[in-house]
């Protein structure tokens, strides 16, 4: 059986716990696993090469100066080599940076790695904390900005899920910063008490840092997987004439009924505040969104129709949801109802209550009207629709057809 030349092992300690890390690397060398470098992109790991066991090997993590360049200066390399120490790799952390050296000579003196050198290299994790704070501000500002562009995005089933993952990522990033500050303060105290730079940190602190690091990596992976699923499964701007839904779709052309319906052309809308590039509004098409678990709604259809006919200009927006369960549809209905009647909803006057109607085909049918504007919320079992209409027709004549959309045809 062929063995792999390289081995990657998860670190049992935090990167800050230098004393235990040095001992762990030496134990691996006795097993024939020779350290190469630390890996940080996903979770704390170390890369080793298989070789002959090195029972006498010692590793030392020597603090780098403030001006860290990724590799020791030539003078330091020559000084350490003259004492029997060889450079392996380096590691940059929020509170200090390390050069990793090793020796197989039991007579080699300890490298110049006293408390003063660590005190010179030690710093508080201000930069990482500032980055986390700026991310919090960016997420909050971005959410408010998206709402200002399209308030309806906050009722999209996938939006809360993405928002929750980003929130968890920021929470664990903030916790990781707190652990870094705690490690820096503890090192300061121990250096002040002359405990030496190789004193081990409390295991609770090191385990907390590992948990936060792994959690942040997992949340990033889940977020990227979710975004990839949304990108691959969804289809946008499908012409209504080419779309074959599993329910009897009500269209404005059908409501006009006399063949006079003329679709509105898609305008170009410049949004310089967003990216400085033009953005299109597409009418008379369907956007199909598949939402992976654990979101309660797994399918969301969005149809935006606009144009004119014998009755004049009209505009209809339909959002159709298919949930995994009846309870999921009820939850989405409650969310939409609160959203529509809230003060921040921009397309309909706030404070107008919904009225209930007994329409065959719907378990719940809510509507409200203000002038030529209508809003409808209807649900049956695990299906829910939200419809807004602005036109001169009496939408009550179409309540039965709207309710019929909740019954799948296949």
Contact assessment for residue 217 and residue 42, using Cβ atoms and an 8 Å cutoff? yes
Please state, as a whole number, how many other Cβ atoms lie within 10 Å of the Cβ of residue 204: 10
Tokens matching residue 193: 């008490």
Residue 273's pLDDT is what?
40
Q: What is the Cα–Cα distance from 7 to 47, expressed in whole angstroms?
A: 6
What are the DSSP calls for 231-290, one per residue?
HHH-EEEEEGGG---SS----HHHHH-SS--EEPPPPEEE-TTTTSSEEE---SEEEEEE
Q: What is the Cα–Cα distance from 320 to 386, expressed in whole angstroms?
A: 6
Question: Which of the four pLDDT bands, split at 50, 70 and 90, describes residue 242?
Answer: confident
Contact assessment for residue 70 and residue 99, using Cβ atoms and an 8 Å cutoff? no
Lowest mean pLDDT among 49-53, 109-113, 368-372, 402-406: 109-113
Residue 16's pLDDT is what?
76
Would residue 10 be called left, alpha or beta, if left means φ above 0 and alpha means ψ between -120 and 50 degrees?
A: beta
What are the DSSP calls for 344-388, one per residue?
T-SSS-TTPPPEE---TT-SEEEEEEETTEEEEEEEETTEEEEEE
Tokens matching residue 125: 């994790």
Q: Which residue has the tokens 């590039």?
A: 277
Residue of 375, 315, 300 lying closest to 345 (CA atoms): 375
Mean pLDDT value across residues 316-326: 93
Q: What is the Cα–Cα distance from 344 to 328, expressed in whole angstroms?
A: 24
Q: What is the pTM of this model?
A: 0.56
Question: Which of the four pLDDT bands, split at 50, 70 and 90, describes residue 401?
Answer: very high
- Is residue 224 classed as helix, strand or coil in its secondary structure? helix
Q: What is the Cα–Cα distance from 62 to 245, expressed in whole angstroms?
A: 65
Task: Note the pLDDT tens digit of each residue in 58-81.
Answer: 999 888 876 666 788 888 889 889
Query: Do β-strands 33-39 and 45-50 pair in parallel, antiparallel, or remain unpaired?
Result: antiparallel
Query: What does the domain layout of the chain look like in residue ranges?
Result: 6-114, 126-232, 234-265+280-404
Which CATH number describes the domain made up of 234-265+280-404? 3.40.1000
Query: Do β-strands 45-50 and 268-270 pair in parallel, antiparallel, or remain unpaired?
Result: unpaired
Q: What is the Cα–Cα distance from 293 to 123, expressed in whole angstroms?
A: 43
Tokens matching residue 346: 């921009």
Residue 380's pLDDT is what?
96
Higher pLDDT, 381 or 148: 381
132-154 residues labelled b (16+ CB within 10 A) or e (exposed): beeeeeeeeeeeeeeeeeeebee
**Percent composition of the chain: helix, strand, coil (DSSP 3-state, to 5):** 40, 25, 35
Contact assessment for residue 288 and residue 234, using Cβ atoms and an 8 Å cutoff? yes
Contact assessment for residue 280 and residue 268, using Cβ atoms and an 8 Å cutoff? yes
Q: What is the Cα–Cα distance from 312 to 152, expressed in whole angstroms?
A: 26
Please state, as a whole number, how many other Cβ atoms lie within 10 Å of the Cβ of residue 245: 16
Task: Note the pLDDT tens digit of each residue in 95-134.
Answer: 778 889 999 999 898 886 666 666 666 777 777 777 777 7
Q: Is the pLDDT of residue 195 over 70?
A: no
Tokens matching residue 219: 């949340």
- Tell me how far apart the terminal alpha carbons of the chain are, to the nearest angstrom: 55
Maximum pairwise Cα distance, the chain = 99
């Amino acid at each position: 059986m062929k063995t792999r030349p390289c081995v990657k092992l998860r670190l049992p300690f935090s990167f800050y716990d230098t004393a235990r890390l040095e001992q762990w690397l030496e134990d691996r060398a006795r097993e024939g696993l020779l350290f190469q470098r630390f890996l940080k992109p996903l979770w704390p790991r170390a890369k080793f090469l298989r070789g002959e066991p090195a029972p006498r090997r010692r590793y030392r993590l020597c603090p780098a100066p403030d001006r860290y360049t990724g590799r020791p200066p030539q003078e330091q390399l020559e000084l350490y080599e003259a004492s029997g120490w060889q450079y392996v790799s380096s590691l940059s952390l929020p509170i200090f940076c390390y050069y990793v050296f090793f020796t197989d000579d039991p007579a080699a003196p300890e490298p110049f790695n006293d408390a003063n050198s660590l005190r010179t290299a030690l710093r508080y994790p201000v930069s990482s904390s500032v980055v986390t704070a700026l991310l919090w501000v960016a997420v909050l500002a971005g959410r408010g900005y998206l709402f200002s562009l399209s308030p309806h995005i906050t009722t999209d089933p996938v939006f809360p899920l993405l928002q929750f993952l980003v929130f968890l990522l920021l929470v664990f990033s903030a916790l990781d910063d707190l652990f870094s500050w705690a490690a820096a303060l503890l090192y300061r105290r121990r250096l002040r008490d002359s405990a030496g730079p190789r004193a081990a940190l409390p295991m609770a602190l090191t385990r907390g840092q590992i948990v936060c690091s792994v959690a942040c990596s997992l949340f990033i992976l889940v977020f990227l997987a979710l975004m990839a699923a949304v990108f691959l499964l969804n289809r946008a701007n499908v012409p209504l004439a080419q779309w074959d839904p599993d329910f009897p779709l009500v269209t404005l052309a059908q409501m006009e009924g006399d063949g006079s319906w003329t679709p509105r052309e898609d305008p170009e809308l410049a949004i310089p505040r967003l990216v400085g590039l033009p953005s299109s509004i597409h009418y008379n098409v369907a956007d199909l969104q598949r939402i992976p678990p654990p979101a309660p709604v797994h399918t969301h259809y969005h149809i935006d129709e606009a144009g004119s006919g014998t009755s004049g200009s009209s505009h209809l927006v339909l959002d159709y949801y298919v949930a995994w369960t009846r309870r999921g549809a009820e939850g989405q209905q409650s969310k939409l109802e609160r959203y529509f009647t809230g003060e921040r909803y921009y397309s309909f006057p706030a404070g107008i209550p919904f009225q209930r109607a007994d329409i065959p085909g719907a378990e719940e049918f809510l509507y409200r009207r203000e002038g030529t504007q209508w809003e409808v919320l209807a649900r049956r079992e695990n299906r829910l629709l939200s419809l807004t209409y602005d036109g001169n027709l009496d939408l009550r004549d179409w309540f039965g057809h709207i309710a019929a959309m909740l019954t799948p045809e296949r």
